[in-house]
Amino acid sequence: MKILKFIATSFIASTLFLGCTDGFEEINTDPYNPTEAPVQGIMAAVQYYEFAEPRFLTWRGNLIYSSQFANQLSYNYAGAWFGADAFQNNQGWTNAIFDNSYKKVTLSSRNLLKTYTETNDTNGVAVSKIMMSWFFQKMTDIYGDIPYSDVIGAELILENPKPTYDSQSSIYKGIIDDLKVQIDAIGSSTTIIAGAEGDYVYQGDPQKWKTFANTLRLRMALRGRDAFIADGDQAYVDQVIAECLSNPLIDETNQALLKRSESALILSFLDGGFEDVYHGFGGIGSKFTIAKRYLDLLDNNNDPRLEKVAIPSAIGNMYQGSAIGSRTQIARDELVTPSSLIIGNSTTEVADIVPVKVLSASESYFLQAEAAILGYGGNANALYQEGIRASMNFWQVEASDASDFITNEPVANLTGSNSEQLTMIWNQRWLNSLMNGYEAWALVRRTNLIPDLTDNTNFWVTQPNNGAIPKRLPYSSTEAVSNADNVNAAITAQGADEMTTAIWWDKN
């Protein structure tokens, strides 16, 4: 597969600092001179590590942590490797999510930005910065305050190898404002960027990246809205949301999707995601299932996506999901198996797997529907239904079945108070975010969509979270040693380095 060729070409260029440690910017002295890797190779490496994530990060960050935190996928069954109390921190995994994400993304991103800057490819510069913004939004939503302003430039070797930690509020405002700068920089240009062959999302089309940037801006403005208002910045966030709604947003003609391998996995630790985790390890311990809340919300509303995402249990032929945090662990064969759209049929039969949703049409419509309920204009119900339809189309539901659902099922029409309608929108957006645990987890934290566990007899209600969904991950212990002053400053500003400490936008 070409993406692997490009990643291999620029692999040395993708080797970064170990977290934010000493030697933060050391690059191997190598006769191949990694800084001169083809731009398409650097682009492919950045996109892969940002948007798809290799097995190690997929397993820890997207699956064991965030998808379980969000009550979407689950390991809670007899014989699982990661069952019981899902709301616990494993510091080794937490370190890996922070260290490896920075290691594999930030230097490569700056290398890409530097390359476009030096060749005066203004659209390439804008696209590089837009992708950086997506990455730092993800990372700040996981940890809160993180290194940002010191690591977003085009300078490969940083003057400060121990970067400061920016507050999440300043990161959000910084990203939102910079996205507007990049939107304006692209303007009406249709000049395809250099290295378009390595752009697996939009094939170098700057207008599609401009729409992506506007939709990402809307996502962040709505997520941070309550916090901005609490900080006295309502005029600012209102203006941002209004600007986003007045400009093109993602629809089904330009959604950001990244297709993974369609042939047998070559380097599964690089090339594999959910399918490699599920099929690539022996025994039942790795065989995650779908969580009870997710399946019940589909099953109880006659939702045709149910048969697309899940295969009934081997015992009982039921659409039974695993209850997150339950002290009762039932047999794996009594639970559903994720469908081939999620895990393929094996590590050699992966052609059926749906693309990675970087930013989808359905999410765009749900964001617009939420904005309409909040008074920013638009037909909330029509946008809500378009979101459902786009999600069903993604999951390969027949158009007629989607239309029947929207026509006949009460859940497909917004009713009740504004608060009740928002909950309906959030539930559908939550359903749509399956396989992107990071976004699902961010959504449930902001909206309190998932009630706390309180029954300590039947569920795990243990410290530190006591049945509540974790609010963040602790910082990397590597960082705590090598960048101690800045980590400690962040903890002083943000609060205790615990899973229970709310980040800036988590105001409810």
Residues 481-494 have pLDDT tens digits of: 999 999 999 999 99
**Count of C-beta atoms within a 10 Å radius of residue 177:** 12
Assign residue 462 a region: left if phi > 0, alpha if psi is -120 to 50, beta otherwise? beta
Task: Give 122's pLDDT tier (boundaries 50, 70, 90).
Answer: very high
Q: What is the pLDDT of residue 24?
A: 32
Task: Give 238's pLDDT tier (boundaries 50, 70, 90).
Answer: very high
Structure tokens at 201: 């999302």
**DSSP string across 349-385:** B-TTPPPEEEE-HHHHHHHHHHHHHTTSSS-HHHHHH
Let me know: does 349 contact 419? Beta carbons within 8 Å.
no
Smallest CA-to-CA distance from 86 within 332, 309, 291 is with 291
Can you say how many angstroms the Cα of residue 222 is from the centroid of all Cα atoms in its chain? 16
Structure tokens at 246: 């007045």
d(CA 445, CA 376): 23
Q: What percent of the chain has pLDDT over 70?
A: 92
- What residue type is 358 in one-letter code? V
**Count of C-beta atoms within a 10 Å radius of residue 268:** 18
DSSP 58: I
Domains of the chain are 39-261+353-494 (1.25.40.390)
Task: Give 33's pLDDT tier (boundaries 50, 70, 90).
Answer: very low
Average pLDDT score over residue span 301-328: 97
Burial of 420 (0-12, 13-18, 19+ CB in 10 A): exposed
| Helix 437-447 / helix 122-143 crossing angle, nearest 10 deg | 60
Q: Is the pLDDT of residue 418 over 60?
A: yes
Q: Which residues of 451-468 are buried (b: 16+ CB within 10 A; e: fewer)?
A: eebeeeeebbbeeebebb
Burial of 303 (0-12, 13-18, 19+ CB in 10 A): buried
**Count of C-beta atoms within a 10 Å radius of residue 162:** 18
- What residue type is 240 in one-letter code? V
- Count Cα neighbours of 314 within 13 Å in the Cβ-side half-sphere: 7
Residue-averaged pLDDT of the chain: 91
Report the range of poorest mean pLDDT among 198-202, 347-351, 392-396, 437-441: 347-351
Of 319 and 7, the one with more pLDDT: 319
Q: What percent of the chain has pLDDT over 90?
A: 84
Task: Give 431's pLDDT tier (boundaries 50, 70, 90).
Answer: very high
Task: Give 34's pLDDT tier (boundaries 50, 70, 90).
Answer: very low
DSSP-based three-state secondary structure for 405: helix
Q: What is the pLDDT of residue 354?
A: 96
Interstrand relation of 289-290 and 146-147 (parallel, antiparallel or unpaired): unpaired
Beta-carbon contacts of residue 306 (< 8 Å; ≥ 6 apart)? 295, 298, 299, 319
Q: What is the pLDDT of residue 104?
A: 82
**Count of C-beta atoms within a 10 Å radius of residue 29:** 7
Q: What is the pLDDT of residue 267?
A: 66
d(CA 59, CA 64): 6
- List pLDDT tens digits, range 203-236: 999 999 999 999 999 999 999 999 999 999 999 9
Smallest CA-to-CA distance from 353 within 365, 342, 364 is with 342
Average pLDDT score over residue span 418-436: 98
Average pLDDT score over residue span 62-81: 97
Task: Give 35's pLDDT tier (boundaries 50, 70, 90).
Answer: very low
- List pLDDT tens digits, range 356-380: 999 999 999 999 999 999 999 999 9
Task: Give 155's pLDDT tier (boundaries 50, 70, 90).
Answer: confident
d(CA 115, CA 93): 33
Q: What is the pLDDT of residue 466?
A: 95
Q: What is the pLDDT of residue 3?
A: 53
Report the range of poorest mean pLDDT among 213-217, 254-258, 280-284, 304-308: 280-284
